[in-house]
Amino acid sequence: MTNPKMTDIKQLKLKANAIRQDIIRMLVEAKSGHPAGSLGMADIFAALYFNVMDHDPKNPALGGRDRLVLSNGHICPVLYAALAESGYFPKDKLLTLRKFGSPLQGHPHYGALPGIENSSGPLGQGISQAVGMALVSKREKKPLHVYSLLGDGEINEGQVWEAFLLVSKFKLDNLVVIIDRNNIQIDGTSDDVLPLEPLADKCRSFGFEVLEIDGNDMKSILKGFEQAKKVKGKPVMIIAKTVCGNCVSFMEGKYGWHGKSPSKEEGETAISELIDEQKKLEAM
36-56 per-position pLDDT tens digit: 999 999 999 999 999 999 999
> Which amino acid, residue 75?
I
CB 36 within 8 A of CB 251: yes
SS (H, E, C) 173-190: CCEEEEEEECCEECCEEH
Give the domain CATH number at 231.
3.40.50.970
Closest Cα partner for 44 from 135, 173, 177? 177
* Confidence check: pLDDT of 283 > 50: yes
Domains held by the chain: number = 1
CB 65 within 8 A of CB 54: yes
Query: What is the average pLDDT across 138-159?
Result: 96
* Confidence check: pLDDT of 104 > 60: yes
Report how far Cα 171 is from the mean position of its chain's Cα atoms. Answer: 23
Residue 264 pLDDT class (50, 70, 90 cuts): very high
Closest Cα partner for 85 from 55, 119, 127? 55
Q: Flag whether 201 is in a domain.
A: yes
Query: What is the average pLDDT across 209-223?
Result: 98
What pLDDT score was predicted for residue 5?
87
Q: Flag whether 206 is in a domain.
A: yes
62, 174, 216 from 164: Cα distances, Å: 27, 14, 25
Q: Flag whether 227 is in a domain.
A: yes
Q: Flag whether 170 is in a domain.
A: yes
- Min mean pLDDT across 69-73, 121-125, 180-184 is at 121-125
Query: What is the average pLDDT across 110-121?
Result: 94
Closest Cα partner for 77 from 112, 124, 30, 126? 30
Q: Flag whether 133 is in a domain.
A: yes
**Mean pLDDT of the chain, nearest integer:** 96
Q: What is the pTM of this model?
A: 0.97
Q: Flag whether 91 is in a domain.
A: yes
Query: What is the average pLDDT across 62-84?
Result: 96
Q: Flag whether 1 is in a domain.
A: no
Return the sign of the alpha-carbon dihedral for residues 30, 36, 38, 43.
positive
Q: Which structural domain range is residue 77 located in?
A: 9-282
Residue 2 pLDDT class (50, 70, 90 cuts): low
Provide Rg for the chain, Cα atoms.
18
* Confidence check: pLDDT of 1 > 60: no
Q: Flag whether 269 is in a domain.
A: yes
Query: What three-state secondary structure class fits 237?
Result: strand
| Percentage of the residues of the chain whose pLDDT score is greater than 90 | 95
> Which amino acid, residue 276?
D
